Amino acid sequence: MDSTAELIAKLRKEIEDHNHRYYVLNEPLISDYEFDIMLSQLEKLEVQHPEFFDPLSPSQRVGSDLSQDFEQREHQISMLSLGNCYSKEEVSDFDQRIRRLTDQNFSYVCELKFDGVAINLSYKNKRLQHAVTRGDGVRGDDVTSNVKTIRSIPLVLSGDDIPDQFEIRGEILLPHEGFNQMNKERLQKGEASFANPRNAASGTLKMQNSSLVAKRPLDCYLYYLAGDSLPENTHLGNMMAASKWGFKVSRHIKEVNTLDELFAFLDHWELAKSDLPYEIDGVVIKVNELDIQDELGYTAKSPRWAIAYKFPADQTETVLESVDFQVGRTGAITPVANLTPVFLAGTTVKRASIHNEDQIRLLDLHYGDVVMIEKGGEIIPKIVGVKQDKRHPLAKPVQFINQCPECESDLNRIEGEAKHFCPNSTNCPPQIKGKIEHFIARKAMNIDGLGQETVELLFDQSLLKDPGDLYCLKREDLIHLPRMGEKSTDKLLESIHKSLEVPFERVLFALGIRFVGETVARKIAKALPNMQNLIESDKESLMEIEEVGERIADSLINHLSDPDNINLINRLADSGLSMESEADEALSSNILKGKSIVVSGVFHLLSRNEIKELIEKNGGRTSGSISKKTAYVVAGDNMGPSKLEKATQLGIAILTESSFLELIEYKNL
């Protein structure tokens, strides 16, 4: 390496060290002027010697003036959301659930719940590779060029014992000081101010021009390390290691061993949150030990080993003017309150969900009532109380409807459910249009050029009665319709044709089967590789699939036993949509074909996830619960005694880690 290369490398290292001290440790060693001189020297050297260009140089944090569209990128490990709770009773319930699911001793880690935008950073050989938003949990937008401008995010890590490859999750946010300064500048320019720091951070992160992002004071705190070769066996240990590598980790993270300690943490930060330089909206509670996290596992949407405790939301008063009853794509009827507009938590609120008939009765709602509203989770407005002392003596009570407001069918209420439903799924306009809008959505069939207004237009023209009609549309049907024209028509037909390439798992999700979201559809498609297998499966077989419980199994059976739904599936198949999963080219063998296997305990040669991957690569499928259809239990150390007892009672073969690897003839150790 010549002297110029050495000088450039030295400057880069020193500048990043000063960045870390200023933006992460809050312990600057040099003045801003001295820092600017050092950065200017580096920039000049890089211009003079382009052969030493590095996209992760600190000089690149200024961003680019070029606009860009964001590409979608998959997360190596899914980014699930957390379940929420709003009271100490719910926290106690969470604790009791954990203790029912494991017999091992454990502690919790409490962390501040930052009110910003979730981000996933991937590193390889100590260098930042990609920064991706949460998206749908499986894939998100690649915003790497924007994230590189955030100076508290290290571009190159320093230290020892850093895994070759890993992901780290965190929250991008705008501190109060930067947010207030941004709004001051916007008002001086005659521009509208941002409603709150979270919205401002989210909008900034999605800007197409990274040089503009660089001018906004975004910050980032990291809170979760994900990967196969982590340095510690506890969440807290991993976060302390990440802090040493250069990541900004909150100093308020704390391990607790009892509910009293946990509640003390909640009480402290509910009062002290206003003293922080940034917004928080609660506390995240996580099981600390990684092996117990592994044992507890996940639901389709969230980890079982973590929960978010949300602080009480801000409330305000307004007036209930009227109530609309909306029909969803599943036929569910939702009452929606029309309110006198009022400002709450950064936005003007005009409408609020009342959820169902029981809620109307519980609140004893009358038209013209002065009501208390808050944002549930500080996002969705809801009515939480009524000022009965301010009620007019002649006010009329709100009555739930008996008939569908769209098609006048008599409503049903399923036993054990809070919602009323319109049963007229084939002729009720909002249900039909809602199913089509769900079918064409980006996460489903991803059909461009067909928004809500166009669906409405084609429905009114009798060109769309169900999703199957999409594949019968012709150019002459569309080209003369309002707002269509040649380009729009050709784009739509091309997108419809391209949707034939969508894999089976997304076709299954697009069908809109109740309770079958993206994650569950993916699990089903993996376990039952074609639609006919799914149609012929009984309830017990369906419940063997990971994440499929009784409610989802019943919904699948009900949907797939309806002749109208089967007819639609057949029409879609005839149109060329994929009704089976592609064969896994990486399948190692069929030695476990058709076998359901439960993995439990702590392992030494491989991680639990690696064992599950081997099961799938050898033709088997994993299940979270033991039943008479379970072929094997792969048992590690500290397997839960209840699972062991049930497996023994049912006579199920219990394999050690070594005997399992021998069974599949694993050669890589």
Q: Following DSSP, what letter does each residue of 145-207 receive, concatenated?
A: HHHTT-TTS-SB--SSS--SEEEEEEEEE--HHHHHHHHHHHHHTTPPPPS-HHHHHHHHHT-
Tokens representing 37 are 């001189």
The CB-based long-range contact list for 411-417 (8 Å cut-off, 24+ gap) reads 411/333, 413/357
Q: How many CB atoms are closer than 10 A to CB 319? A: 17
86 conformational bin, left if phi > 0, alpha if psi -120 to 50, beta if neither: alpha
Query: In whole angstroms, how far apart are CA 397 and each of 316, 332, 365?
Result: 22, 22, 6
Q: How many CB atoms are closer than 10 A to CB 538? A: 9
Q: Which residues lie across from 306 on neighbouring strands?
A: 286
Please count the CA atoms within 13 angstroms of the CA of 489 that sit on its side-chain side.
15
Query: In whole angstroms, how far apart are CA 240 and each of 218, 223, 248?
Result: 23, 10, 10
Tokens representing 230 are 């982590």
Comparing CA positions, the residue from 125, 108, 77 lying closest to residue 225 is: 77
Q: Please list, in sequence order, all residues whose beta carbon lies within 8 angstroms of the beta carbon of residue 197, skipping any fewer than 6 positions away.
A: 115, 116, 173, 174, 175, 176, 179, 278, 279
HEC assignment per residue over 325-338: EEECCCCEEEEEEE
Local structure of residue 369 (DSSP, 8 states) = -
* CA angle (431 as vertex; 427, 433 as ends), nearest 5: 100
The catalytically annotated residue of 113, 254, 375, 419 is 113
Phi and psi at residue 234, in whole multiples of 5°?
Answer: -130, 155
Look up residue 607 and give its amino acid: S
Contact present, 391 and 369 (Cβ < 8 Å): yes
Comparing CA positions, the residue from 523, 487, 538, 503 lying closest to residue 616 is: 523
Q: Taken in order 263, 264, 265, 268, is the CA torsion positive or negative?
A: positive
Tokens representing 459 are 């429905």
CB burial class (10 A; 0-12, 13-18, 19+) of residue 280? buried
Tokens representing 238 are 């991993």
Comparing CA positions, the residue from 508, 506, 504 lying closest to residue 555 is: 508
The separation between CA 454 and the C-alpha centre of its own chain, rounded to angstroms, equals 29
Known active-site residue 215: no
Taking the chain, what is the end-to-end CA distance rounded to the nearest angstrom? 39
Contact present, 519 and 301 (Cβ < 8 Å): yes
* Cα(346)–Cα(325) distance, integer angstroms: 27
Look up residue 257 and give its amino acid: N
Look up residue 564 and give its amino acid: D
**Which uninterrupted H or E stretch holds 221?**
strand 219-226
Which residue, chain included where needed, has tokens 């450039």? 8
Comparing CA positions, the residue from 286, 255, 273 lying closest to residue 313 is: 273
Residues with catalytic annotation? 113
